[in-house]
């Protein structure tokens, strides 16, 4: 299998949203792949299908057509339950809008994924602590999201994504709501993670952010137009 080479591989992915008689084709036959340890950037105008692609790669929804291999495994047509398992075990998500649960403190937020995994209580606690330490928020682990700045909240989200040691981390415009200084912070955090071996796919509008990526794909109207990369 050639999957050993690639963590993510999509072949002719199409995604069609049907709204009554009206159809929206968000992705139109997309071939896309990511190698282990790669730091991939995805750029493109609004509505070009970036989020849709991330959702498919992140096992949140299935493509209408095409094949998707994650870690060499074809998951184009697995059950909803198995998709959930893939998300729990292989994927870390970071979203644009802050995706923390407001009634939980930092530590509890980072612990959420372990609710849906097999680790024991103690192991979960240890891994969560470690992840919080990696994003440099150990001091604030008992604070509520409302007591954190936007950048700090995003770091908590990153800690939550990497706590389970996923195959890859997906970030959909992680700096979209942050000022440029904080954005730099987050990006350098991503870069650190990448240097330590984490595979990353980041959607962004910002050239500044994209400049850190090894590979950049441009999406227009649900298709990849060209690679601009420095491997």
Partner 1 sequence: MKWDKILRDAWRALFRHRLRSFLSSLGIVFAVMAVVGMLSIAEGAKQEILDQIERLGTNSVIVRSLQLTKAQEADPRRRLSQGLVLSDANALKNTIHTISNVAPVKEVKASLPISIAQDPFEILAVTESYQLAKNLTVRQGRFVSVTDVVRKNLVCVLGEEVSRLLGDGGHLGEALRLEHRTYRIVGILHKRQWKYSKSPALAVRNYNRVIFIPMGTEVTDVHEQTRFGEISEIWLRVARNENVQACAEAVRRILNQKHGGVEDFQVIVPQELLIQAQKTQRIFNIILGCIAGISLLVGGIGIMNTMLASVAERTREIGIRRAIGAAQEHIVVQFLCEAIVLTTTGGCIGIILGAGSAVIISKVAGWKTVLTVWSVIVSILMAGGVGLVSGLYPAVKAARLEPVRALRHE
Which positions touch ligand ATP (CB under 6 A)?
17, 19, 24, 26, 44, 46-52
First CA to last CA distance, the chain: 23
- Of ligand ATP, partner 1, Mg ion, none, which one does residue 112 interact with (CB within 5 to 8 Å by kind)? partner 1
Place of tokens 């682990």: 141
Of 76, 68, 52, nearest to 3 by C-alpha is 68
Closest contact distance (angstroms) between CB of 50 and Mg ion is: 5
- Of Mg ion, partner 1, ligand ATP, none, which one does residue 103 interact with (CB within 5 to 8 Å by kind)? partner 1
Give the Å distances, CA to CA, from 206 to 10, 118, 123, 210: 25, 38, 38, 6
Q: Which residues bind partner 1 (CB under 8 A)?
A: 55, 58, 60-61, 80-81, 84-85, 87-89, 91-93, 95, 99, 101, 103, 112-113, 115-117, 121, 160-161, 164
Tally: H helices and E strands in the chain: 7, 10
If the CB atoms of residues 210 and 219 are measured against partner 1, the closer one turns out to be 219
Distance CA 25, CA 13 (A): 11
Q: Does 51 bind Mg ion (CB under 5 A)?
A: yes
Q: Residues binding Mg ion: what is the number (CB under 5 A)?
A: 1
Reduced DSSP (H G I as helix, E B as strand, rest coil) percent helix, strand, coil of the chain, to 5: 35, 30, 35
Residue 174 corresponds to which tokens in the numbers above?
């992680």
CB-based closest residue to Mg ion: 51
Residue 182 corresponds to which tokens in the numbers above?
């904080």
- Of ligand ATP, partner 1, Mg ion, none, which one does residue 195 interact with (CB within 5 to 8 Å by kind)? none
- Of ligand ATP, Mg ion, partner 1, none, which one does residue 47 interact with (CB within 5 to 8 Å by kind)? ligand ATP
- Of partner 1, ligand ATP, Mg ion, none, which one does residue 26 interact with (CB within 5 to 8 Å by kind)? ligand ATP
Contact between 70 and 83 (Cβ < 8 Å): no
Residue 156: other Cβ atoms inside 10 A: 29
Closest contact distance (angstroms) between CB of 17 and ligand ATP is: 3
If the CB atoms of residues 11 and 88 are measured against partner 1, the closer one turns out to be 88
> Which residues are at the interface with Mg ion (CB under 5 A)?
51
């Amino acid at each position: 299998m050639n999957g050993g080479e690639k963590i993510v591989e999509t072949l002719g992915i199409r995604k069609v949203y049907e709204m009554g008689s009206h159809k929206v084709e968000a992705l139109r036959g997309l071939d896309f792949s990511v190698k282990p340890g790669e730091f991939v950037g995805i750029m493109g105008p609004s509505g070009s299908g970036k989020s849709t692609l991330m959702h498919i790669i992140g096992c949140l929804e299935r493509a209408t057509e095409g094949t998707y291999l994650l870690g060499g495994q074809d998951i184009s047509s697995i059950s909803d339950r198995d998709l959930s398992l893939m998300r729990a075990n292989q994927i870390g998500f970071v979203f644009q809008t802050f995706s923390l649960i407001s009634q939980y403190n930092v530590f509890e937020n980072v612990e959420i994924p372990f609710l849906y995994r097999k680790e024991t209580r103690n192991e979960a606690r240890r891994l969560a602590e470690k992840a919080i330490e990696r994003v440099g928020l150990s001091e604030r682990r008992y604070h509520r999201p409302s007591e954190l700045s936007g950048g700090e909240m995003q770091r908590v989200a990153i800690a939550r994504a990497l706590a389970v040691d996923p195959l890859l981390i997906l970030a959909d415009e992680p700096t979209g709501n942050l000022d440029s200084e904080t954005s730099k912070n987050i990006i350098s955090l991503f870069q650190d993670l990448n240097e330590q071996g984490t595979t990353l796919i980041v959607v962004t509008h910002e050239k500044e952010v994209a400049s850190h990526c090894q590979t950049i794909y441009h999406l227009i109207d649900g298709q990849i137009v060209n690679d601009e990369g420095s491997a």
